[in-house]
Amino acid sequence: MNSISSMNTTTTTTKASPMTETKISARNVQVYYGEKHALRDVSIEIRPRSVTAFIGPSGCGKSTFLRCLNRMNDTIDSCRVEGHILIDGENIYDAKVDPVQLRAKVGMVFQKPNPFPKSIYENVAYGPRIHGLARKKSELDDIVAASLQKAGLWNEVKDRLHESGTGLSGGQQQRLCIARAVAVSPEIILMDEPCSALDPIATAKVEELIHELRTNFTIVIVTHSMQQAARVSQRTAMFHLGLLVEENDTDKMFTNPDDQRTQDYIMGRFG
């Protein structure tokens, strides 16, 4: 599936000048669902400690590509990925890579808030526990508290850590999911339309949170809302019909895109 023959050359190119520092580097990624060619030839560089937004009409492959970055597509039987995706210069589709280890490094927040039907504490503590990040109960307590603080949820839930996570409001649940992702100290956080199920106030809170998380994490976010992409991201990538149409600085993308299709999409002419 993935040849590692060109690994070395690719590695050298990705470790280029500090100006274009790269966290994730995708090279000619092809994704097939059975016979369907869902993603064609996607190549993109994602910078560390920044927010990159993927936009595009439904079914364009942006979520598919996002799920390639932590190999969540492995769970789909018919899905096949070709090409290279390098994180810190290592090919994550190498046969030696265990997706479990990868997902500890690349966390994910999903479209619909999906807390475990357990207590708030257990929700956050689950990841650190399975990865053995805490040796003592007190360490685990610290990780849970710190993660909830980073997710801006601590003040709202600190008195009811042992109540069910599913009893929170939608926005709180989504921030709980972010805290859960943060708790395993990943380097990259993938967000698949994290605000699509939230009301505007909860959305604003999550966006603010993304802004803060940017200082420590590399964030890739898929969004249907152009305004959201413009608000939260530094770089934006536009997908259309399985192709990466354009990737650019967000400012440029929304004012003067290079590609006509991007222009049309942003103006609302299709999609």
Partner 1 sequence: MTDLTVTGASALAPRGKSLLELDERTRRRNAAETRFRMMGLVAVLVGVFVLVFLLGSILSNGLSSFRQTYISLDIFLDPAKLDKGGKRDPAEIAKVTTFGYAPLIEKAMADAMAAKGVTGDGVSAKAAGELISKEAAADLRRYVLAHPQAIGTTVNFDLLASGRIDGYYKGRVTMESAKLDRNISPAQLQLADKLKSAGILVTHFNWGFFTAPDASDTRPEAAGLGVAILGSVYMMVIVLVLSLPLGVAASIYLEEFAPQNRFTDLIEVNIANLAAVPSVVFGILGLAAFINFAGLPQSAPVVGGLVLTLMTLPTIIIATRAALKSVPPSIRDAALGVGASKMQAIFHHVLPLAMPGILTGTIIGLARALGETAPLLLIGMVAFVRDYPAGPPEGFFDPASALPVQVYNWTQRGDPAFIERASGAIIVLLVFLILMNLSAIILRRRYERRW
CB-wise, 110 or 154, nearer to partner 1? 110
- Going 117 to 120 to 122 to 127, the CA torsion angle's sign is positive
Binder among 166, 216, 225, 263 for partner 1 (CB under 8 A): 166
CB-wise, 111 or 248, nearer to partner 1? 111
For residue 230, which of 51, 95, 71, 105 has the smallest C-alpha distance? 51
CB of 258 to partner 1, least distance (A): 34
Find the angle CA(73)-CA(206)-CA(159) to the nearest 5 degrees: 105
CB of 112 to partner 1, least distance (A): 6
- Going 94 to 25 to 211 to 63, the CA torsion angle's sign is negative
Asked if 131 touches partner 1 (CB under 8 A), the answer is: yes
Asked if 117 touches partner 1 (CB under 8 A), the answer is: yes
For residue 245, which of 218, 214, 270, 225 has the smallest C-alpha distance? 270
Give, as one character, the DSSP assignment of residue 164: B
CB-wise, 120 or 230, nearer to partner 1? 120
Asked if 226 touches partner 1 (CB under 8 A), the answer is: no
The stretch near partner 1 (CB under 8 A) out of 13-21, 48-56, 109-117, 220-228 is 109-117
Find the angle CA(168)-CA(173)-CA(177) to the nearest 5 degrees: 145
DSSP run (H or E) holding 80: strand 79-87
Binder among 116, 141, 170, 263 for partner 1 (CB under 8 A): 116
CB-wise, 85 or 266, nearer to partner 1? 85
CB-wise, 61 or 115, nearer to partner 1? 115
Q: Residue 255, SS3?
A: helix
Q: Compute the distance between CA of residue 212 and CA of residue 175 in angstroms, rounded to an integer.
A: 13
Binder among 49, 126, 204, 214 for partner 1 (CB under 8 A): 126
Q: Compute the distance between CA of residue 38 and CA of residue 16 in angstroms, rounded to an integer.
A: 30
Contact string 170-209 vs partner 1 (x = CB under 8 A): -------x--xx-xx-------------------------
Contacting residues toward partner 1, per CB under 8 A: 70, 72, 75, 77, 100-101, 103-104, 107-110, 112, 114-117, 126-127, 130-131, 166, 177, 180-181, 183-184
